[in-house]
Structure 1
Amino acid sequence: MQKIGFSGTLDPITNGHMWVIGEARSLADEVIVFLSQNPAKKPQFPAEDRKRIIEQSARECGWDNVQVVIVKGDYTARAAKKHGCDYLIRGIRTTADFDYENLIQQTNVDVLQGAKTIFVMPPRDLGSVSSSFVKALEGPVGWNWTMKKFVPGPAYQAWILDCLRKEWQALWHYATAPAEQIARFDHWFAHLTGSDAYGGADRHYHNLDHLVHGLSEIRVWADNTYAAPRDSALVKKAFWFHDAVYGHDEDALYSSEEASAQLWLGSGLDADDNQEVAQLIRATDHFQGPAIAHVLKDVMLSADLAILGQDEEVYQAYTQAIAREYAHVEPTRFNQQRGLALQHLSAKAQAGQLFGDAYFSNQYNQRAIENMQREIVALARA
């Protein structure tokens, strides 16, 4: 078979879709993904962005025989025929899927004189994965770690950037801000999510994942404790900047935390909250933090350390990311230093002092102890 087509809205493309495209590649010399623009649907991403995401996902897999075509104002089965595809391929997960797809297939062939359909059944671990399933994951604490398992990297990256953009715009009240302020807001969003900050290639943990997770923690803390909107905003602003500068240069003029605080102070984003936000950023420095007094300091530190109390799978992903971020350190020395840090944090948790905020302590303290003790044992054996 020379060409085979695969069609859908693909918002976002999932690992299930990628599996079907992979099956198509085993049947044909060339695969064309027909990206439909359905006016009845309101996609998260415009068609051009979805096209780019699919192309990037294919390249990451090393697939050089997959192209993407946006279909406007036509049926995808008819468009497929025009592009030389006699067949479309569809994944069937359930009997309901088959009944629906079989009806579509009959319409495509009998009414539209379009491409016929080949049905394939995905493996069990992908049987429930769909775009709507993935979309439904967004929101609760840790949603990003769960989503990452079900979509290719480019789709995940685009999704969390879109989520962060919404968080940022809500924080700075874009709807009522003047144009010159919006330009400044956009500049700092691009900086913070770009390669010079959380989006940097060498950021394996202190990255966009950490930013999404921390902001989710703060939002849920505020919802559950009925925190004042200004308190929530202060902590969020500090969290956006607290690891904006992150390095390992012991000869640097400032610590990473102080450098991040200086970055905030020079941003010109909010003169009213300048010093308070800077103090919360400085509080995340474990050497200087205890000397810093702010009523929200415990919330800021707790949100930053909340990763320690996540479920085992997320915690393991975190430890692997930390190891990659410190790959420049000799392994034996890293294990020793990491072990000492964990022993210190574990002792604080056992004394009930790791999470200074009661909400976070109730949520995460016991699990943090279990996670850290398990890692300490593993490091001792390494």
Structure 2
Amino acid sequence: MKKIAFSGTLDPITNGHMWVIQEARALADEVVVMISENPFKKPQFSASERKAIVEKSVMAQGWTNVSVVLVKNDYTARTAKRLGIDYLIRGIRNTADFDYENLIQQANVEVLQGAKTIFVMPPRDLGSVSSSFVRALQGPVGWHWNVEKFLPEPAYKAWIVDWLGREWRSLWIQSDVDTSARANEDKWFQYLAGGSAYGSPQRHYHNLNHLVHGLTEIAAWAATTNANRNDISTIKKAFWFHDVVYDDVKQGISNEEASARLWLESGLDIDNAAEVADLIRATDHLQQNEIAHPLKDIMIGVDLAILGQPNEVYDQYARDVRNEYRSIEEETYRTNRKTVMMYFQHKAGSEELFHDAYFNDLYNQQALVNFEREIESLS
């Protein structure tokens, strides 16, 4: 078989879709992924954005015989036939899928004189993976860790950058009336989410995942405690900047102080700039007892919430931290890391790690379990 096509909205492309494309590659010399613009759907990404995401996902696999095209104002089966493609390939996960796809393939052949359809069944671990399933996971604390399991890396990164973009824009109130303010906001988002800061490939822990986790922790805290809007806004702005400067080389000041100064230089919130800067400084755990701020306990709770996550998440966090400090020799790292963990363990043992009751109740007990496991692994 020379050509076979795989079609769909692909919003986003999932590992299930990638499996079907791989099956198609085993059947044909060339695979064409056809992205449809369905007027009855409101996708998160535009058709051109979806095309770029699929191309990056395919490229990351090294699949040189896969191309991506957009289908506009036509049926995919008829477009495929016009492109010299005789067969479409579709994944069937259950009987409902089969009934639906069977009707579609009959219409393709009998009504449209389009390409015929080949059905394949995915393995059990991909049997429930769909774009709608992935979209339904978005929202609660930890949603990004779950979504990451079901998407190819380029699709996952596009997904969380889009989510972060919406979170970022919700912080600013002058964008609709002040074009210079909007331009400044966009500039700083590109910096923070791009390769110079949290989006840098050198950021293994203090990265985009860290931002998503912190912002969802803030949202959960706010919903549970009925926090006021100004406090929520202040904490979110501080969290966006609190780890933006993260460098092994100290320029005579802490990373937190450098991050606070960068925030002040941004000009993003002139009226509340000093309060946000002080809250950023409060995340300096080595100096926290010397920094006063009414929201400090909440900010520290958000920053340390990773320590009380389930074993799998915490273990990945510990690996990411090691990678972030990969320039440090192993024995030195293990000694220093163990010292820090024992300090945290002591704090958690006396319930002084999380000073806010909301975070203490949620995470202190699991944090103790995690500290004990990591300390043992470092010994």
Fold-level similarity (TM above 0.5): yes
Counterpart for residue 306 of structure 1: 305
Counterpart for residue 360 of structure 2: 361
1:132-153 deviation digits (Å, cap 9, x = unpaired): 0000000000101110000001
Q: Secondary structure at the residue paired with 1:293?
A: coil
Note the residue ranges of structure 2 that are not aligned, 5 or more in a row: none
Distance 2:369 2:83 in 1: 57
Is 1:71 aligned with 2:71? yes
Counterpart for residue 289 of structure 1: 288
Q: Secondary structure at the residue paired with 2:183?
A: helix
Distance 1:272 1:255 in 2: 25
Give 1:176 deviation, angstroms.
4.2
Distance 1:315 1:85 in 2: 48
Counterpart for residue 132 of structure 1: 132
Equivalent AA in structure 2 for residue 148 of structure 1:
E
Counterpart for residue 142 of structure 1: 142
Give 1:115 deviation, angstroms.
0.6
Aligned residues: 379
The share of aligned pairs that are identical, in percent, is 60
Q: Secondary structure at the residue paired with 1:5?
A: strand
Give 1:91 deviation, angstroms.
0.5
Give 1:317 deviation, angstroms.
1.5
CA pair 174-52 structure 1, distance change in 2 beyond 3 A: farther
CA pair 174-97 structure 1, distance change in 2 beyond 3 A: farther
1:220-264 deviation digits (Å, cap 9, x = unpaired): 1011001111011111010000011111004x1321111100000
Is 1:119 aligned with 2:119? yes
Equivalent AA in structure 2 for residue 86 of structure 1:
D
Q: Secondary structure at the residue paired with 1:375?
A: helix
Note the residue ranges of structure 1 that are not aligned, 5 or more in a row: none
Contact 2:175–2:181 (CA under 8 A) maintained in structure 1: no
CA pair 288-373 structure 1, distance change in 2 beyond 3 A: same
Give 1:174 deviation, angstroms.
5.4
CA pair 247-13 structure 1, distance change in 2 beyond 3 A: same
Counterpart for residue 24 of structure 1: 24
Q: Secondary structure at the residue paired with 2:272?
A: helix
Q: Secondary structure at the residue paired with 2:326?
A: coil
Is 1:35 aligned with 2:35? yes
Distance 2:355 2:241 in 1: 21
Distance 2:231 2:333 in 1: 37
The equivalences for 1:7-18 within 5 A come to 7-18=7-18
Counterpart for residue 276 of structure 2: 277
Counterpart for residue 237 of structure 2: 237
CA pair 113-199 structure 1, distance change in 2 beyond 3 A: same
Counterpart for residue 347 of structure 2: 348
Counterpart for residue 45 of structure 1: 45
Counterpart for residue 190 of structure 2: 190
Give 1:201 deviation, angstroms.
1.4
| Over 4 Å off, 4+ runs | 174-177
Distance 2:184 2:224 in 1: 32
